[in-house]
Structure 1
Amino acid sequence: MVTLAFVSSPYANRSSTPVAKAPVTQAQASSEEMQTGNDQIAQSQGHDGSIPFSQINQVIQERCSVCHSATPTHAAFQTAPGGVVLDTPEEIKVNVPRIVAQTVTTKVMPLGNLTQMTDEERTLIGEWVEQGAQIQ
């Protein structure tokens, strides 16, 4: 049995932003594709330096929604673990403190890093939250 702890973070009292789903597994993504994704992260910030929600949503859908969806695609889950569903921007927004605690602060999610979340993606999520976690 796996038990996940909710860890408090400096982002816990800030606004959260939701995410859509479009999971990609490690088997589907080549290292070249993953590098291209990291390059896109570095290049896609807005003119004012803000991180667009579309970029965060892409990360969450690829790395988190495999399990945290109303219809998980991972074979081990029939329902989202802990009831945490990250299919919509609103669901993402509500779960921002958990997302930060699990992916940025403790780095325990994705579980076993099954979906190969990169340090750059973790940093991106943290910066997006610091900027107010806007979903529009």
Structure 2
Amino acid sequence: MSLAEQPSGDDWDAVAEAIQTRLAETRMTQLDVASRARLSLTTVRELQHNLNSRRRRPQTLAAVSQVLGWPPDYLQQVLNGDQPQSHEDEVKDPVLQALDGLARQIQELRERVEQIEHQLAAEDAKP
């Protein structure tokens, strides 16, 4: 989707990414979110994959935010380009902090493996 097609200032790609990430973290499905938020499955699918970035009612984003365990205004803040904060108990949760640390370590390892693969490919390409 081009920037010209998006309503000014709205970052629907960021909303989609936030929903996608949270679904993976919570192991919830689109159907879970739709039924708990009392929305259509199509609406949840459109939000998760940014299939239709038309304006949504604030209640829609609030309902999805709450079902995903965020404050009601979380996705609206993401849409506006802000850096929303999770619930205070989530920020202080030692299990989530440990998971964040593991995610960072995995990312570092991926980058190292990628660098090694590039080096090996470059060596193989030399005559």
- With normalisation by structure 2, the TM-score equals 0.32
Of the two, which has the highest radius of gyration?
2
